[in-house]
Structure 1
Amino acid sequence: MGNWVVIAEYYSDVSRTEFICRGLETKDQALKTLRAALHTYVPTKHIVEKRRHVYRFADQETYLVVIKGKLTEWECTLRIAELVSDSADPAVAERARMDDCEAKAAGGPQDRTPPGC
């Protein structure tokens, strides 16, 4: 099972997080799924869509979707996330820690090993 998910975050009486897709194997798969959802994702609230604006944040992995309906305007943030800890599967945290160490090491020469590696 993959560790990547695509989520929607929005406010509807309270802050909510909705999983659009779970179990993606790679970050690239998650980004591809995220970009596909930008123009097709519809909220659980019943909105008759008249217009949709999609804004990309500078990190290139987060988007703001604004849907204008007949009577209301609805906003949500779509983004990807990686599972880095699972109390039922300690190997998840170990894999995430090793990935972080590899990423730090690839950044260039270092005088010492990054903490935790």
Structure 2
Amino acid sequence: MGKWIVIVQWGDYQHELNRGAESTKDQALEELRAAAQTYLPNPGIQEKWRRVYRFADRESYFVVIKGATTKWRCTFRLAELVSDSTDPAVAGKAQAEDTAADMAAEPQDRVPPGFG
């Protein structure tokens, strides 16, 4: 369980939506889904319509918002904190999780019966 955040990006601008206390991946996914439906990159936008596209990974969205005079295109993604120079334990925890995941994903050799 690391610290997960939602990042929204439009143009050259990026913004973290959930800062602060530790959040689980499930909590961040919930915030991600809500943000894709409600977030406005500029509080003055008079929204005419919104199109929300979900990427195949099901953990990121592309949103097109039509305002009164312009269209905004935003990408919403999840990110996990894996390194923090102020807290070296974060990197150790992330490396341990990556190692465990890599070991589980490795192919397992199996000798068929009668060959051994």
Q: Which residue of 2 is the match for residue 115 of structure 1?
A: none
SS where residue 38 of structure 2 aligns? coil
Residue 77 of structure 1, aligned match among 75, 91, 108: 75
Instruction: Determine whether 1:5 maps to 2:5.
Output: yes
**In percent, how many aligned pairs have the same letter?**
55
Residue 16 of structure 1, aligned match among 4, 13, 17: 13
Tell me the number of residue pairs that the alignment of Structure 1 and Structure 2 aligns.
107
> Deviation per CA, 1:54-91, whole angstroms, max 9, x where unpaired?
01111111100110011110011011100111011110
TM-score, structure 1 as length reference = 0.83
Q: Is the 8 A contact 1:24 1:30 kept in 2?
A: no
Q: Which residue of 2 is the match for residue 34 of structure 1?
A: 32
SS where residue 102 of structure 2 aligns? helix
TM-score, structure 2 as length reference = 0.83
* Superposition RMSD in Å: 1.7
* Structure richer in strand, relative to its length: 1
Runs of 4+ in 1 over 3 A off after TM superposition: 108-111
Residue 100 of structure 1, aligned match among 85, 92, 98: 98
Q: Is the 8 A contact 1:8 1:78 kept in 2?
A: yes
> 1:92–1:110: structure 2 CA closer, same or farther, 3 Å change rule?
farther
SS where residue 32 of structure 1 aligns? helix
Between Structure 1 and Structure 2, whose CA radius of gyration is higher?
A: 2
Q: Is the 8 A contact 1:34 1:78 kept in 2?
A: yes
